[in-house]
Chain A
Amino acid sequence: MDFSIRAANVEDCKDIARMIVELSEYEKVAEHVKVTQRDLEQDGFSKNPFFHGIVAEVPEQHKTKEGHTKIGYALYFYSYSSWSGRAVYMEDLYVMPEFRGKGIGKALMSKVAQLGLAAGCNQLNFTVLDWNKPSLDFYLSQGSVDVTASMGYHCMRCDGEALQHLAQP
């Protein structure tokens, strides 16, 4: 199937917002999504963006029954390793179910890798849910390493009241 991969622009935010919700539903945590289309427009497409996006599109004749031609996306941003320097973090990677198995996910990830390398990055990091076997298998087959397993790294977060409390004098 024909598809194209390109940088996201502000007009894509409606479809990206839709697919973010679809991905969260797949991850069984849709109630966690608070970010809106408007937030994405401001946070991703203003002078100092906090993330960048890539979109996968199919031609009109392959659009979904709801009429969507934007059928996959990746969100990424630049990060830093105090050990090895510039890094790229892939926050989301998603392809709509009916378009899977055609190399679109691989192409999106390859694009993130290319852009990261062009920016001088030495590693690409991302997280996967431990029950998400299709994704775990896919990423391992592409040559990634499970750093939580190999180095015992746990992802931690301080938010809400805990963050407010830490900020008190």
Chain B
Amino acid sequence: MEFKLRKAEPKDVSDILRLVKELAKYEEMEDQVILTEKELLEDGFGDTPFYHCFVAEIQGGNSSDDPKVVGFVMYYFTYDPWVGKQLYLEDFYVMEEYRGIGIGSELLRHLSDLAMKTRCTGMMFVVAENNEPSVQYYKRRGAEDLSQEEGWRLFRFDKDSLVKMGTPAEE
């Protein structure tokens, strides 16, 4: 089966959201996805993109079929004041029925190559510790677990606590 990788375009937002939800479902977090196609469009294809995406496409059975988007990576650039620019991998997913033909490897290779070309010193991401297959997948490829090895814990302020914190204290 042939596939091709390309930069995501505005027309892809509905497929991107579909794949985001499929990945969240795999992580048993489907109800956490509140993002909409409209937000994906504004945030990814406006003047200042908050994220970038590559998609993997399979050509349909007949040449008259539309190609189908079966995998994607969502990423953005971050900054580590110790070592500089980083590429942050937010989501990485290939539909189950299209795995095993090299799409995932090619998406990751493309992204790593982009990281090097844009002079990022590392590629960062987060994995749930109970997601054994993914943890092994990344460790086999040389990823370090900074939480385990250096003790870094990820903390978050959600919207409500963010609003509370952003309100100046009474004098």
Contact = CB atoms under 8 A, between A and B. Distances in A.
Nearest to A87: B50
Given A20-B81, A159-B121, A82 B74 contact: yes
A158 B143 contact: yes
Given A158-B112, A167-B109, A144 B34 contact: no
B50 A34 contact: no
A97 to B, nearest CB: 19
Contacts of A39: 84
A85 B20 CA distance: 12
A168 B39 CA distance: 34
Interface residues of B, number: 73
Nearest to A116: B162
Nearest to A103: B169
A127 B34 contact: no
Given A50-B85, A84-B32, A157 B124 contact: yes
B122 interface: yes
A146 B32 CA distance: 17
B122 A159 contact: yes
Contacts of A79: 50, 76, 78, 88, 90
B11 interface: no
B138 A158 contact: yes
A148 B153 contact: yes
A19 to B, nearest CB: 10
A160 B91 CA distance: 22
B126 A50 contact: no
Chain A interface, >50% SS class: mixed
Q: Which size bracket describes the interface of A in this complex? A: 35 or more
A157 B78 contact: no
Contacts of A149: 153
Q: At the interface, is chain B mostly helix, strand, loop or mixed?
A: mixed
B133 interface: no
A113 B11 CA distance: 33
Given A83-B20, A143-B165, A131 B151 contact: yes
Nearest to A132: B151
Contacts of B39: 85-86
Interface of A: 20, 24, 29, 32-35, 39-40, 43-44, 50-51, 75, 77-86, 89, 91-92, 103, 109-110, 113-114, 116-117, 121-131, 136, 139, 142-149, 151-169
20 contacts: A20-B82, A33-B82, A35-B83, A43-B84, A80-B76, A83-B33, A85-B43, A113-B163, A121-B162, A129-B151, A142-B161, A143-B164, A148-B155, A154-B128, A155-B152, A156-B125, A158-B123, A158-B144, A161-B142, A162-B142
- 9 A-B pairs with least C-beta separation: A162-B142, A159-B122, A143-B161, A113-B166, A166-B112, A167-B112, A130-B151, A154-B147, A152-B129
